[in-house]
Structure 1
Amino acid sequence: METTYSHGQTQATGKRHRLLAMLFVTVVITYLDRSNLSIAATAIGQDLQLDPAQMGLVFSAFGWSYALLQIPGGILVDRTRPRLLLALIIGLWSLATLLQGFASAFAMLLSLRVLLGALEAPAYPTLNRVVTTWFPDNERARAIASYTSGQYVGLAFLTPALVLTQEHFGWQGVFFLTGAIGLGWALVWYSLYREPSEAADVNAAELEIIRAGGGLIELGEAGKTDQADQAGQTGYRQRTRYTAADWRAVLGNRKLWGVYIGQIAVTSTLWFFLTWFPTYLVKYRHMDFLKAGFMAAVPFLAAFVGILGSGLLSDWMIRRGVSATVARKVPIVTGLLLSTAIVGANYVDTPAMVILFMAIAFFGSGFSSITWVLVSSMAKKELLGLTGGMFNLMGNLSSICVPVVIGFIVKNSDFKPALMFMSAVGVVGALSYLFLVGKIERIR
């Protein structure tokens, strides 16, 4: 049921729903710049004479800095408003993307991927901060699912476009195009985004819906103090430093560790598809490059359906009175178990069956990808950035490990052990949610 209320005689505006389009486009761009390498990988490997182990290192280079800088990135989110921060980092990482088109050696390409990861590090904590500010609790899973789906649907429709770009302009054209798109979007974001209390096209009725439903509008309000919050008001002050108690809240909580381990599993499947999947189809399943590029879109569409379905299901369960613990865990655990279907590709020969098992696995990955809602629901509200940074750091350890591990596993030209490894990771993630993550509630 849509949340449409009136405040007195005034109908609430729907600014927060329109904002989702901006968040969606931002996610599409972040993942274009992460995955463009996978499209160009075969051609780059040939031009720069890279073996699978070296290619694995290049694939993982983004993750080295991206994961390690999640904590500094989260701290930056707690201290900087998203309008300026996101515009700045989008512009800078898009420039790093464009420069990859000029890479002429392994070291140069590796360095630019590390730089890209560093600049993208604050992106998801910033998006989570925006959605926590703009959306009430009973809309948050759908909101997160809607913008996060950009990592799947954008790639599903744009992967064929990038394949055609490479066919006509070489692998360098892939980086030039994706970099230019990001530079333009940085200007659009800065021009259009405002905090809830500053947006000209949002009225008091909508602000009341957000505030009454648990949306933290005070994150975007200047001049509020922690003392006001302690007095029962909705005040908030940006953090200027973190205490030992803050770090214990983020690192010493069993529930959060269960979420962290589970997130490693969720993102592991994603990073397989963002890195090795096109190479797997072309080099190890011997598909034509153009055909593989178009068939690769099918699992991304399946993941898109998965994440939208999980967000709708989870919020529907919340509205039906199901506990947050059950409503949030059911899609995540189910999705992780479905992601283990990736191993089925080892036992089929036809391209259609290979794509079917890959689509089931990626659907599962998408179905489990509402995990950011747990940060919104469990983190101390004054530590959203820090908790989000830690969550993303843990989850993106997979961006470091998965490409490298697969690169070394397949060095002998056998990809089957790599898919067995991916399936095992999904099982570990499901067990983490079942046995480590207890009741889902905000940490006090």
Structure 2
Amino acid sequence: MSDATKILAPPRAATAVRRTRVRWLMLSLVFVGTVINYLDRTNMSVVAPLISKEFAVTPITMGILFSAFSWAFAIATLPGGYFLDRFGTRLTYGVCLAGWSLLTVLQAFVGGFASLFGLRLGVGAVEAPAFPANNKLATAWFPQNERGVAGSLCSMGIYMGTALLTPVLFWVASDYGWREVFLLSGSLGLVWAGVWFALYREPSESRRANPAELDYIREGGAVVGGTSDGKPFRWDLFRKLLTFRQIWGVCIGKLCANVTLYFFLTWFPTYLVNERGMSMLKAGGASVGPYVAAAAGVMFGGWIGDVMIRRGISVNVARKTPMVLGLLFTGAIVLANFTSSNTLVIFILSFAFFAQGMSSTNWVVISEIAPRQLVGMTGSVISLVGNLAGIITPITIGVIVQSTGSFAWALGFCGIVSLIGVFAYTVVLGKIERLVVE
């Protein structure tokens, strides 16, 4: 029997004793954490039109402010991965969640552009370990044949939370002011940090998970014993990690997918207000459709990959299919340039964002390829490169808008880059399999 067959075979323990489902409780903790994470990223895009007026900010300067988060995020990502592998998911994620939430609250009290820029840098730095931690949790708590849905649920928090809560932020900004937006979103995170510390445990430390569940996830390929053994970090293993084509294939593909994501996370509300002439409240309502579509795309991409694996299709084909097709159809975003109907524009953008969400199952691939002793660092490397889009996209779009007076070429930029991502996943990535570093 092959190793792949052993991984996917129904665990024997599952037939003897009814197993608990604690893994889904643990996943729900990071799902809500991800909602809060992206709420604290996107709140700036909601209040951007108001801040631009109050602080007399140009489009290019606003693009720099949007990118502040990602500059610090990029610098802190590798150290974040180190702390994650050294100190574990519970401590690292919990401290970071509390830290970025406090910095978000402080943004409500800034007196000018410089202090706001500095606090956005701080939020970016402290959020850096968040998604590598999500990946580490999925690797520890979920068997291979459930990892697609688990990873998709984590990613869905980006889109569904933004879809449901962004209109609330628009309402708060419109009726109360932009400072109250930061107070609300930051306070939610401080509360959830307490919930995280109270409930999260690694599989080997959990008193809620019974042996049947632990056997089930272990036999399915989960790293139940954890990967944080407190041993000194080995740079030779890290250097070897960077020699694998799989790492760079996912890095480039994720970077390209994130260009469209960061358009929606930063400039999308301004596009609706300035380019399409919507009011703040109307823009808040219109923004729901694309984010709901993206959440559906994430779930569809993860679900179809898991279904393909259960039907005997290779992990390589099953994981690549939604990523490649998703990025291919993301290019449809450029079609919004060819209609004057706001209704049709929202439909086109919703379709493109659905496709982008479908491609975001790349986080599942990270859990499939990461060396067992470098799960955190693997996620951090890919997160670092992928989130360079958070620097490139807002500044590039700011330059385009200020130079041309329109978002037309900005949408074209997103469409072209998504096709480069198709090349990365089909040519550069190679075979999806667990990498080994010794």
User: Shorter-chain-normalised TM-score: which range?
Assistant: over 0.9
Instruction: Name the CA distance, whole Å, in 2 between partners of 1:11 and 1:254.
Output: 41
2:285 counterpart of 1:294? yes
Q: CA deviation at 1:8?
A: 6.5
Instruction: Name the CA distance, whole Å, in 1 between partners of 2:363 and 2:240.
Output: 17
2:4 corresponds in structure 1 to none
Instruction: Name the CA distance, whole Å, in 1 between partners of 2:244 and 2:88.
Output: 28
2:169 counterpart of 1:162? yes
Q: Any residues of structure 2 matched to 1:296-315 within 5 Å, and which?
A: 296-315=287-306
1:383 corresponds in structure 2 to 374
Look up the equivalent residue of 1:322 and give its one-letter code.
I
1:141 touches 1:315 (CA, 8 Å); kept in 2?
A: yes
Q: Any residues of structure 2 matched to 1:77-116 within 5 Å, and which?
A: 77-116=84-123
2:62 counterpart of 1:70? no
Look up the equivalent residue of 1:51 and give its one-letter code.
T
Q: Any residues of structure 2 matched to 1:276-287 within 5 Å, and which?
A: 276-287=267-278
Q: Find the residue that maps to 2:203 and give its secondary structure.
A: coil
Q: CA deviation at 1:370?
A: 0.8
Q: CA deviation at 1:5?
A: 7.2
CA offset digits 1:99-143 (Å, max 9, x no partner): 111122111111111100000011111111111100011111110
2:329 touches 2:352 (CA, 8 Å); kept in 1?
A: yes
2:13 touches 2:215 (CA, 8 Å); kept in 1?
A: no
Instruction: Name the CA distance, whole Å, in 2 between partners of 1:240 and 1:195.
Output: 21
Q: CA deviation at 1:167?
A: 1.8
Instruction: Name the CA distance, whole Å, in 1 between partners of 2:322 and 2:35.
Output: 23
Q: Which runs of 5+ in 1 are unaligned?
A: 221-235
Look up the equivalent residue of 1:344 and give its one-letter code.
L
1:7 touches 1:204 (CA, 8 Å); kept in 2?
A: no
2:3 corresponds in structure 1 to none
2:258 corresponds in structure 1 to 267
2:346 counterpart of 1:327? no
1:94 touches 1:179 (CA, 8 Å); kept in 2?
A: yes
2:41 counterpart of 1:31? no
Q: Taking structure 1 as reference, are residues 329 and 9 closer, same or farther at Cα in structure 2, changes over 3 Å only? A: closer
Instruction: Name the CA distance, whole Å, in 2 between partners of 1:36 and 1:5.
Output: 48
Instruction: Name the CA distance, whole Å, in 2 between partners of 1:249 and 1:136.
Output: 26
Look up the equivalent residue of 2:317 and give its one-letter code.
V
Q: Any residues of structure 2 matched to 1:432-443 within 5 Å, and which?
A: 432-443=424-435
2:184 corresponds in structure 1 to 177
Q: CA deviation at 1:239?
A: 3.8
- After TM superposition, the structure 1 stretch with the greater mean CA deviation from structure 2, 202-211 or 103-112, is 103-112
TM, length-normalised to structure 2: 0.95
Q: CA deviation at 1:76?
A: 0.8
Q: Taking structure 1 as reference, are residues 211 and 292 closer, same or farther at Cα in structure 2, changes over 3 Å only? A: same
2:418 counterpart of 1:426? yes
1:4 touches 1:12 (CA, 8 Å); kept in 2?
A: no
1:141 corresponds in structure 2 to 148
Q: Which runs of 5+ in 2 are unaligned?
A: 1-7
1:230 corresponds in structure 2 to none
- After TM superposition, the structure 1 stretch with the greater mean CA deviation from structure 2, 401-410 or 193-202, is 193-202
Q: Please, which of 356, 374, 382 is the counterpart of residue 347 of structure 2? A: 356
Q: CA deviation at 1:249?
A: 2.7
Q: Taking structure 1 as reference, are residues 240 and 352 closer, same or farther at Cα in structure 2, changes over 3 Å only? A: same
Instruction: Name the CA distance, whole Å, in 2 between partners of 1:289 and 1:237.
Output: 50
2:125 counterpart of 1:118? yes
Q: Any residues of structure 2 matched to 1:2-41 within 5 Å, and which?
A: 6-7=13-14, 9-41=16-48
2:205 corresponds in structure 1 to 198
- After TM superposition, the structure 1 stretch with the greater mean CA deviation from structure 2, 169-178 or 17-26, is 17-26
